[in-house]
Amino acid sequence: MLKILKNLKESILLVIVIVILLCVQAAADLNLPDFTSKIVNTGIQQGGIEYAVPEAIREDQLNNLMYFTDEDEKIQDSYVQMKKTEKNIEEYPELNNQNLYELKDLNKNEKEELEGIMSRPLMILYQVQDEENAAQIKEKMLQGLDSTSPQYAMMAQMSVMDIIKSIPEGEMNTLLAEINTQIDSMSNSILEQAAIQEVKSEYTAIGMDLDKIQNDYIFMTGLQMLGVAFISMASAVTIMFLSSRVAAKLGKTLREKIFKKVLSFSTAEFNQFSTASLITRSTNDVQQIQQLITMLFRVVVYAPIIGIGGILRVVRTSTTSMAWVIALAVFSIIAIVLILFIVAMPKFRKMQSLIDRLNLVSREILTGLPVIRAFNTQKREEKRFDEANQDLMKNSIFVNKSMSLMMPAMMFVMQSIMILIIWVGGHSVDQGIMQVGDMMAFLQYTMQIVMSFLLISVISIMIPRASVSAKRINEVLDTEPHIKDKPVEEQLKFDENKKGLIEFKNVSFRYPDADTEILEDIDFTAEPGKTTAIIGSTGSGKSTLVNLIPRFYDVTGGELLVDGVNIKEVSQKDLRSRIGFVPQKGVLFSGTIESNIKYGKENISDEEMKKAASIAQATEFIEKKEDGYNSPIAQGGNNVSGGQKQRLSIARALAIDPEIYVFDDSFSALDLKTDKALREALNSQTKNKTVIIVAQRISTIMNTDQIIVLEEGKIVGKGTHEELLKNCDTYKQIALSQLTEEELNGKEEK
């Protein structure tokens, strides 16, 4: 897989942008639960008052506050007397009646520090000034006094705050110690809420609009939350767009590399990989990699940030008492994924080979459809296709069933965790350990952590199949062709003085991994201006021999020279540009007759194209077509006859006007009259060219300059038609099987 990912270097800038955007999105997503907590805790429960520090306070209330703290100077230094301006009086109506103090411009840390100092005295002040609490406190303070005494009557008329101010310092300290002991037993949440209530009471006394404070806070926090959510959404959309682009580009790069590698393959490599398998590897396998890459960035970068960041946020917000819930969720998800892996992994590995098999069977059936119909074997082929299809279907169903269990199981875990958090968190809220907003934030963080592991589990399911595909792609890319060019600086140039000369010097050949030689001790020369024919029984090695000339195979012994140079010493492109090769099986490409004739040399004129068609005896059937040279040719030339296909293949070779022509049994589908006319036309076209013809018909090669007779991969005869009739029994037997004694001894039929 890592070798495949190295191809991402072409998109490195996009990858960097994606990583940056993923970090931005993760940071935004991790901040969203904080805003939820603020809206619920501060905006709703605390009325928009963020800190237990009054922004404005009455002078007498500030003095009252000093009775319950030793940090008098710190508090006094944080406030400044408010000026009686028109704006201030409008915002703080109580300013008309008494002096007010406003909080100085403090930063967040300073406010938090001041909140720690003022929370306790504010709570005490709230307790002594609340009517219900004040009555209880006063009753407790009067318990030790005689109800008929003047002191009792006087204190009964005083407020609790006035009583506290009037009592001796020793009693005051005792009272404060008792109050502090009670406060210490409370949770920070309760302490903070009580302090906030006192701030609210103070704001009400000053005449401030509490509803406006609350609405403004919720609106601004909500606006910030929407902004962060928009950043997250924009990042996510951009990431998916760029990821798809990177994945598509990687897919394009891989397909190009596979295609270029396949083009460099010799026949030996094609035999190693079936055509169906190569098609699957360049399409379906690449698609698997592409789908993985689209998701990979989110998992490799985003999921760890969300998972680790969520855990750190949970720890930071002091809700570690519920951390075991996250551990339980993660353990449950990992357990589900491991079980699915153990069950489904073998089937994932088998998937691609089954697709290969189905493609192979489908290709064979579609290609051989005429033969299947001719032999009435439709049922047998349907059964063969059905078996391959059923195997793939069963494997896919098993995999899909296994994977279909994952999402319901994951959702069950997520919903169960949500219920558990609400249940445990509800108890904590009831006990004052946690606020509702904190519980909601914890719930969101937990879902983010669970989703990050869910993403990892999804990608971990895609990785096995993609890794199989990557391995199959690398098998193609890592395969070194048996036939390859030497470095450019080591390549030789053709000898122009020996143009068109082909020399076989003791050539032998065996297929890769074969035990015996297919060709052995082949030694002959094909000269320019002459025609060399090769004939022999089926399996004697005729096609193999001519396939050595364009270097479709490399000789395993001896030397094969073209233009005086060993073909291993020159580039394959230069070699093949000198050869007009017509294979045994004519191959046409989808397009038109014109595009097929001009296939080897697109810049030839229409006159040259028509001349090539005329020599190949193709003009007659081309001109009968309604669109002439613009007539469409189906894939593989399936809409023309075998003879027409051969003639168009010959015209294609003639159009490039090479110095060497190789016809590998290319006249077999022609009738005798067309065969004769074509050979006569070729003779005038190839006067200074080297022509090699592989043929089965004696009539095709009787008048050639040299005939090579092959038998079991060896040359058993070499010479003209007349010479071979006299001194080569193999040739004579082949000839007599086709023509009579009179025809053989006479001239070629008129």
Are the C-beta atoms of 658 and 689 separated by less than 8 Å?
Answer: yes
Give the pLDDT score at 407. Answer: 73
Among 219, 241, 275, residue at a domain's last position: 219
With 0-12 CB in 10 A as exposed, 13-18 as middle and 19+ as buried, what is 398? middle
CA pair distance 517, 541, nearest whole angstrom: 10
Q: How many CA atoms lie within 13 A of 147 on its CB side?
A: 3
The token pair that represents 553 in the structure block: 């195979």
Among 219, 252, 279, residue at a domain's last position: 219
Does residue 592 form part of some domain?
no
Burial 240-267 (b: 16+ CB within 10 A, else e): eebbeebbebbbebbbebbeebbeebbe
How many Cβ atoms are within 10 Å of 386's Cβ, its own excluded? 12
Are the C-beta atoms of 685 and 615 separated by less than 8 Å?
Answer: yes
Residue 285 sits in the same domain as residue 362: yes
Closest to 384 in 3D by CA, of 350, 360, 349, 356: 360
Provide CB contacts within 8 A for 551, sequence distance 6+.
483, 567, 568, 572, 575, 576
Does residue 644 form part of some domain?
no
Average pLDDT, the chain: 83
The token pair that represents 352 in the structure block: 């691609």
Among 415, 449, 477, residue at a domain's last position: 477
CA pair distance 267, 160, nearest whole angstrom: 105
Are the C-beta atoms of 588 and 595 separated by less than 8 Å?
Answer: no
Give the pLDDT score at 188. Answer: 66
Are the C-beta atoms of 357 and 384 separated by less than 8 Å?
Answer: no
How many Cβ atoms are within 10 Å of 493's Cβ, its own excluded? 10
Using DSSP's 3-state secondary structure scheme, residue 709 falls into strand
Q: Where are the alpha helices (DSSP H) in 571-720?
A: 572-577, 593-597, 606-615, 619-624, 642-655, 672-685, 698-701
> Per the structure, how many domains does the chain have?
3
CA pair distance 461, 281, nearest whole angstrom: 20
Tell me which DSSP letter residue 103 carries: E
- Dihedral, CA of residue 380, residue 381, residue 382 and residue 383, to nearest 10: 50
Does residue 611 form part of some domain?
no
Sheet order of strands, 690-694 included: 579-582, 660-664, 690-694, 531-536, 706-711, 714-719
Using DSSP's 3-state secondary structure scheme, residue 279 falls into helix
| Residue pointed to by tokens 């001009």 | 598
Does residue 616 form part of some domain?
no
CA pair distance 694, 692, nearest whole angstrom: 7
Cα 560 to chain centroid distance, Å, stands at 47
Burial 504-533 (b: 16+ CB within 10 A, else e): bbebbbbeeeeeebbbbebebebebebbbb
Give the pLDDT score at 237. Answer: 92
Provide CB contacts within 8 A for 449, sequence distance 6+.
306, 307, 310, 311, 326, 329, 330
Residue 373 sits in the same domain as residue 508: no
The token pair that represents 279 in the structure block: 């098609």
Cα 275 to chain centroid distance, Å, stands at 25
Residue 469 sits in the same domain as residue 495: no
Does residue 20 form part of some domain?
no
Using DSSP's 3-state secondary structure scheme, residue 566 falls into strand
Which regions in the chain score pLDDT beneath 50? Answer: 747-750
Provide CB contacts within 8 A for 604, sequence distance 6+.
598, 655, 656
Does residue 203 form part of some domain?
yes
How many angstroms separate the first and last alpha carbons of the chain? 68
The token pair that represents 539 in the structure block: 């399996």
Residue 463 sits in the same domain as residue 511: no
The CATH number that applies at residue 457 is 1.20.1560.10
The token pair that represents 97 in the structure block: 């009646």
Sheet order of strands, 56-58 included: 56-58, 100-103, 79-81
How many residues comprise the chain? 750
How many Cβ atoms are within 10 Å of 384's Cβ, its own excluded? 14
Sheet order of strands, 565-566 included: 519-526, 502-509, 557-562, 565-566
Helix and strand numbers (H, E) in the chain are 32, 15
Residue 352 vs residues 356, 517, 693: alpha-carbon distances, Å = 6, 36, 43
CA pair distance 313, 31, nearest whole angstrom: 9
Q: What angle do CA 387, 391, 392 make, to 5 degrees?
A: 120
Are the C-beta atoms of 523 and 715 separated by less than 8 Å?
Answer: yes
Residue 503: its H or E element: strand 502-509
Does residue 598 form part of some domain?
no
Residue 327 sits in the same domain as residue 349: yes
Residue 569 sits in the same domain as residue 711: yes
Residue 170 sits in the same domain as residue 297: no
Structural domain including 280 reads 264-477
Residue 473 sits in the same domain as residue 533: no
CA pair distance 566, 575, nearest whole angstrom: 10
Give the pLDDT score at 560. Answer: 93
With 0-12 CB in 10 A as exposed, 13-18 as middle and 19+ as buried, what is 349? middle
Residue 494 vs residues 498, 506, 562: alpha-carbon distances, Å = 8, 21, 8
Residue 471 sits in the same domain as residue 496: no
Does residue 454 form part of some domain?
yes
CA pair distance 363, 285, nearest whole angstrom: 18
How many Cβ atoms are within 10 Å of 272's Cβ, its own excluded? 17
Residue 345 sits in the same domain as residue 392: yes
Closest to 354 in 3D by CA, of 390, 325, 322, 401: 390
Residue 90 sits in the same domain as residue 200: yes
Give the pLDDT score at 524. Answer: 92
The CATH number that applies at residue 509 is 3.40.50.300
For the full predicted model, state whether its pTM sits above 0.85.
no
Residue 454 sits in the same domain as residue 562: no
